[in-house]
Amino acid sequence: MADIGSRKADHLDLATTGDVGFRSRTTLFECVELVHDALPELDVAAIDLSCTVLGKRLAAPILIAAMTGGTERAQRINRELASIAEERGYAFGLGSQRAILKNRESLPTYGVRDVMPRALLLGNLGVVQASKLSTEEVRDLVGLVQADALCIHLNPAMEVVQAEGDRDFRGGLATLERLNSELGVPVIAKETGCGLSGSVADRLRARGIRHVDVSGAGGTSWVAVEMHRATGANKSLGQTFRDWGIPTAASVGLMARRGFDTVFATGGVKDGLDIAKAIALGASAGGIARGALQALEAGGRAGAVSFFERLEGELRTAMLLVGAKDLAALRQAPRLVRGELADWLTL
């Protein structure tokens, strides 16, 4: 059985260069058309991308989503991306903190607060691990990394394809409810590439959960990642379920009408136009994981910075071209929702 360190190394390698996208399933952002305004009456330089998420001011609605921790390479990636988040006013998510539970010496690989003293920092733990810990133990994990909020990730599809993965998912909702009421920092229910449905949203809302990261289908397929690592029956299971999940745009639309305080739109967000569409559908911010990692690994810090500059430029341009001077106006912008996305939103 692979230990956490070698699994994390496999994940980073596969996410950087592997064939881990969805095959035919897309985010469905292509089904959203924002309507062009030929008379925007705006100065591009005055368009305001800022917003408040989980009580902290962001200069732009961008989350660098949870990826890693636990190894030296993870430490370098976390610190580089976290410092970019601080510099540019984004939110940043640490990868699963499970490794700290196994080995306290891995804590420095999650240590980003010195390079990110102000920006919104999200801790991360799987729901199955969280269900085995007391609230005090989870609070300790949050405190160790000085996170502002904790993502509890839900990843049943990935786990069942992983040979060493979890198989018993009972008690997840009760764990989310307990942590949400006892932890003392906001709890975010986060998928990992398969999206959140309207029914899950209703169950979360009924238990008082107010923040979600949809992490929908159409970007990184974690079933595909585990399929590459698997052998035998697990590999074949991964091949069958590689494209499983709810497209990101559909999941955002389904969350938006349920009144969550925070909706992160993660999963296959590839450019600033996707972020604009996500915000128009009701997201608080767009999240990017693999694209940020690839930009960093291919081009170093400068590569990652130019990736985010492009994203912001595209978002600003989309806002100009729909005549939206700020994100509140973008949420009201006229749009057309077509095809499969329209079908999802009637669910």
Give the footprint of ligand FMN on this chain (CB under 6 A).
11-12, 15, 65-68, 95-96, 124, 151, 153, 190, 192-193, 215, 219-220, 266-269, 288-291, 293
Closer to ligand FMN by Cβ: residue 9 or 329 = 9
Query: What's the closest the beta carbon of residue 308 comes to ligand FMN, in angstroms?
Result: 13
Give the Å distances, CA to CA, from 106 to 66, 144, 289: 17, 11, 21
**Among 84, 91, 85, 139, residue whose Cα is nearest residue 262:** 91
Closer CB to ligand FMN, residue 12 or residue 209? 12
Q: Which is nearer to ligand FMN, 297 or 326 (CB)?
A: 297
User: Cβ of residue 62: shortest distance to ligand FMN, in angstroms?
Assistant: 12
- Minimum CB separation of residue 323 from ligand FMN in Å reads 29
Q: Which is nearer to ligand FMN, 17 or 199 (CB)?
A: 17
- Nearest distance from C-beta of residue 240 to ligand FMN, angstroms: 20
Residue 254's SS3 state is: helix
Q: Which is nearer to ligand FMN, 89 or 193 (CB)?
A: 193
Compare residues 79 and 290 and give the one whose CB is closer to ligand FMN.
Answer: 290
CA–CA dist 41, 186 (Å, integer): 39
| Closest CB 66 distance from ligand FMN, rounded Å | 4
The count of other CB atoms within 10 Å of the CB of residue 284 is: 28
CA atoms within 13 A on the CB side of 274: 26
Q: How far is the CB of 271 from ligand FMN (least distance, A)?
A: 12
Q: Give backbone dihedrals phi and psi of 279, rounded to 5 degrees, phi first.
A: -65, -40
Half-sphere CA count of 75, side-chain side, radius 13 A: 13
Q: State how far the Cα of 261 lies from the Cα of 125, in Å rounded to an integer.
A: 21
Q: Could you tell me if 253 and 303 are in contact, meaning their C-beta atoms sit under 8 angstroms apart?
A: no
| Cβ distance to ligand FMN smaller for residue 192 or 234 | 192
Smallest separation (angstroms) from ligand FMN to the CB of 291? 6
Tokens of 207: 């238990």
Taken in order 141, 147, 150, 151, the sign of the CA dihedral is: negative
Q: How many of the other CB atoms lie within 10 Å of CB of 324?
A: 24
Q: Where are the beta strands (DSSP E) in 114-258?
A: 121-126, 149-154, 187-191, 211-213
Would you say 71 or 234 has its CB closer to ligand FMN?
71
Sign of CA dihedral 90, 91, 93, 94: positive
Kindly tell me which of 25 and 47 has the beta carbon lying closer to ligand FMN.
25
Would you list the DSSP string of 74-85? HHHHHHHHHHHH
Establish how many alpha carbons lie within 13 A of residue 319's alpha carbon, considering only the half-sphere containing its beta carbon: 30
- Give the CB-nearest residue to ligand FMN: 219
Give the nearest distance from C-beta 287 to ligand FMN in angstroms: 7
Least spacing, CB of residue 10 vs ligand FMN, in Å: 10
